[in-house]
Amino acid sequence: MTAPPGLDALTSRSLYLLLFATEKANVYHWVLYFHDYPGFGGYKFHIQKPSVDGRWRPDRGTIYGAVGPFVLALRLSAQDLSLTIDDTLREDDDRLNDFPGMTSRVWALRALT
């Protein structure tokens, strides 16, 4: 198995689904990533569940340099979504913990529909 490509292999101004391995076998953390700067970085969109109170929280921000050891990078769109993606992904922020069975996978799939 070969390693997935780094940021330099991703297409600029495109939306990706990145899967990251977790400590559990065959369980992945799902992250939406908008690659904005060729070979340099972009914006991450995902949710996290801190161990303090066990509630899901949105996490988004600019990533410079390496994204990390992702297992899969799936290009979802080549459209320029930079003006609408952040607002769209914020729609459920206040209700993240109201959805039964919420995971990063469920959040990503909801965000894409």
Could you please report the per-residue DSSP string of 35-66? EEETTTEEEEEEEE--TTT---EEEEEEEES-
Q: Over the chain (113 residues), what is each successive 10-residue block's mean pLDDT? A: 56 85 88 79 86 86 72 73 69 87 90 80
Looking at the domain assignment, is residue 83 inside a domain? yes
Predicted confidence at residue 47, as pLDDT, reads 93
Q: Where does the chain have alpha helices with state H?
A: 85-90, 104-112
In DSSP terms, 29 is beta-bridged to: 20
Looking at the domain assignment, is residue 47 inside a domain? yes
Tell me the pTM: 0.78
**C-alpha–C-alpha distance, residues 24 and 67, integer Å:** 20
Predicted confidence at residue 4, as pLDDT, reads 44
Predicted confidence at residue 46, as pLDDT, reads 92
Domains of the chain: total? 1
Predicted confidence at residue 3, as pLDDT, reads 39
Looking at the domain assignment, is residue 43 inside a domain? yes
Helix (H, G, I), strand (E, B) or coil at 83: coil
Q: Are 70 and 20 in contact (CB under 8 A)?
A: yes
Looking at the domain assignment, is residue 1 inside a domain? no
Q: What is the extent of the structural domain holding 99? A: 7-112
Predicted confidence at residue 105, as pLDDT, reads 92
Predicted confidence at residue 6, as pLDDT, reads 64
Predicted confidence at residue 1, as pLDDT, reads 34
Looking at the domain assignment, is residue 2 inside a domain? no
Q: How far from each other are the two terminal CA atoms of the chain, in whole angstroms?
A: 31
